[in-house]
Structure 1
């Protein structure tokens, strides 16, 4: 009988284990697709976390966390306290109508400048609230220290930092992963491999808000904060065949560098025994589809990481100060890396020096970034200690290439592009000051007309003289013939 009860208990426990969810909200269907390796299966299964029991302890686990009303109040109070370096705005509303509040931090908030923009997004999953708490801590720390801390000052003066503490306030209120429609927002974006939810109007309002936001602001890089593991995750998140294996994006080296910045700055993330260096390729961990991370890189030109910042999805609130200290330098250093590394500059036209909103490519990396529309500024994140061939291009202009050797610090390279010369323009001559207001081609044509007029007049004069001479000769001949006739 004891054996029977033991087997029954083991069976129930194992079933519960398999039905659990993943830190990034992984697939609940095929586990370890494409592999029969038992150890791989066990390692993969370790990443599953037991779904929170919504019927027990839901009030207790939220005790000490900011409610949505508390969060809204904290954001607005921050805006009043730090009005000189911030502005508060909303990018939309959740299903239940709660505003998606954003804090922008900059020395010129709301103004467009030739500076990179970075965004942090917290609480993508409703049951992962640590990120929303840490992002409020981050904003307040920068406000309190930007006049005395060099790193805070660097960020305020050289970056436009946008902080969305909660992307999923409804899910937080319901103490569950999905939003009010029970949709996982990190599976609701367009996917490069499989058409998921192709109609933008059928996407969740929180998803549409993010997509519209990136249509308005050109973000250089970003990160979303999750819970349930301790690792910095980078693209690609999925594979074409849904198998779990390392699937690198074109900027794999750069993403590994960015993820390592966060991991090495963290208290213990880089010491992970499961993830070497505390970083992982998403598809190598487990594939997901419709994720926000890949969409940012493909469609918005934004280099995004998915940061798992707490092994426990919903730790006790008294652990939040420790989690803040563990993640503080990582959050700051990742933002500062936008100006401390990579290659930056602007693109100009040699014809008048106006800014050109062109594109920047790196030879050997199949990825193009666009310069800003107003200042034509570009900010290209790259793995340091490498030699790169940088190409600037713009329709109607000749491309220009330069080689750089990128060290540990950032480089500044401006490009001046020459307009392409057409066949018609080759006919033009330098404008003489006596032909002011006329084009060079008009001057050339006018010169030819004057020459033709002179030739025509000369020919006419010659013909007139010839005609007169002929008439006079005929007259003399006629007169002589008349005289001879009279004499006969």
Structure 2
């Protein structure tokens, strides 16, 4: 029995050793070029009120206070701990934590999946986003593994929800924060950089900027009130004229905005905005806005969503507003998975993932792959052919052409080191060590191998020693004395 047990343990060890991850091959196929397809449209006239003349107690009744919202976020984290985590990205001027809910089947873990963020209550007097985003979080928690769309989002994305970016403004019942600064004018602007030093920004703005640098967001949206439209970049123009001023990814942004508008109860039926979408510079030019900064500095495709004609509707209307926006929010997040091009970038000499960049010929913008897994997620409008280019310093770029239909395209690249063999410097990743294609550090993997070998050697030694002892005990009995026989 003891020998059988030892043999069984040896078999288990050998199977565990054989199941260690192995390197996999990737595919790919080389020079980026630029080009912007400008488009002119008519102008819409609309003026949003900078501040609500008066926010009465009757209007506030039914909305969560900042304390109640914080309790709700923490309670959500406890109730839905299997698919969420709660964390703070900083504090407001008056010290209120900026709480975020992350929803995923592996919350808090790095994965080769796209990440999306929703931000509510950017303006203190536009509180609908606070309430709607909490409804979204609860719906996803309650319907995970029950509803296909909820399951797709939880299992294939990392969704981050910041219900309020401006808790102080909400408490003061005004547009700006505690310093009376409009947070959606406080980001560094591409056309008029007054002051690009992050230390001179409001603490809420700094928190968002640092958040974008820490997380690898693919797309995002901020929720506002005062109109009913999906707004996309650019938010302003170089000469400050009110005209259509599209960004390099104008087609992709119009597609994303249309996904939201057409999934909405009545946004796409707007008589003011064709199709329920609009270019920011054409409709309501602003400078220092959050969505342009996201796109330029984070490679994050952000929309500004106006989800209520009234900035501060009665609380009795909140449930209806949630229902009207529910499918729009879900479909917008799911569009990251259902369309676009996704993949990973590897080094040919080592097989390790590398944080290269991805460009599309004819679109003058690039996105970066993550440092951990070398994964990228590129939003593109479906129904077209694209030439996709992967590149990184020290490697030869590679390109290939794809036809993007209604479904997403998965495309991996293997980049060959350029120059002489051995001249390429090792690429650092987030774990600051060599990583295999699954993201597991090689140092840890090698430690496991040595541990397996050590245990295997120890068990073999015990097995041999055990056999010798058994043999020595059996030796005197190999030739037993003859028994007397009665005749």
TM band (smaller chain): 0.7 to 0.9
Partner of 2:266: 268
Map 1:304-383 onto structure 2 (within 5 A).
Answer: 304-383=302-381
Deviations 1:401-445 (A, max 9, x none): 1000000010100111111142898xxxxxxxxxxxxxxxxxxxx
TM-score w.r.t. length of structure 1: 0.77
Counterpart in the other structure of 1:300: 298
Moved over 6 A (4+): none
User: Where do 1:74-93 residues align within 5 Å?
Assistant: 74-93=72-91
The runs of 5 or more residues in structure 1 that have no matched partner are 1-38, 426-488
User: Aligned runs of 1:88-487 on 2, under 5 Å?
Assistant: 88-422=86-420
Corresponding position of 1:460: none
**Is the counterpart of residue 47 in structure 1 residue 50 in structure 2?**
no
SS of residue matched to 1:48: coil
Aligned partners of 2:421, 2:231: CA distance in 1, in Å?
Answer: 52
- Aligned residue for 2:272, secondary structure, equals coil
The residue that corresponds to 2:4 in the other structure is none
Check whether the contact 2:51–2:125 (CA below 8 A) recurs between aligned residues. no
Question: How many residues end up aligned between the 2 structures?
Answer: 382
Cα separation, 2, equivalents of 1:102 and 1:127: 20
The answer to whether the 8 Å contact 2:370/2:376 transfers is: yes
Q: 1:421 to 1:98 in 2, by over 3 A?
A: same
Distance 2:51 2:391 in 1: 50
Alpha-carbon shift at residue 198 of structure 1 (Å)? 2.8
CA distance in structure 2 between the partners assigned to 1:368 and 1:331 by the alignment:
25
- Secondary structure (helix, strand or coil) at the match of 1:49 reads coil
CA drift at 1:287: 1.1
Using the alignment, how far apart are the partners of 1:342 and 1:179 within structure 2?
37
Q: Give per-residue Cα distances to partners, 1:283-315, cap 9 Å, x unaligned.
A: 000211000010000011100000000000000
Residue pair 2:51, 2:175 contacting (<8 A) in 1 also: no
Question: Is this contact kept in 2: 1:189–1:196, CA < 8 A?
Answer: no
Q: Secondary structure at the match of 1:261?
A: helix
Q: Runs of 5+ in structure 2 lacking a partner?
A: 1-41, 424-487
Check the 8 A contact 1:244/1:284 in 2, yes or no.
yes
Tell me, in whole angstroms, the C-alpha distance in 2 between the residues paired with 1:415 and 1:319: 49
Q: Which has the higher helix share?
A: 1
- Deviations along 1:121-162, one digit per CA (max 9) or x if unpaired, are 000000000011000000000000012000000000000000
Root mean square deviation of aligned Cα: 1.4
Mapped to 1, the partners of 2:404 and 2:418 lie a distance apart of: 30
Per-residue CA deviations over 1:5-34 (Å, capped at 9, x if unaligned) read xxxxxxxxxxxxxxxxxxxxxxxxxxxxxx
Kept in 2: contact 1:293–1:306 (CA 8 A): yes
Larger of the two Rg values belongs to structure: 1
Within 1, Cα distance between the matches of 2:80 and 2:48? 41
- Structure with higher RCO (Cα < 8 A, 6+ apart): 2
Q: Which moved more, 1:57-66 or 1:404-413?
A: 57-66
Equivalent pair of 2:120/2:133 in contact (CA under 8 Å)? yes
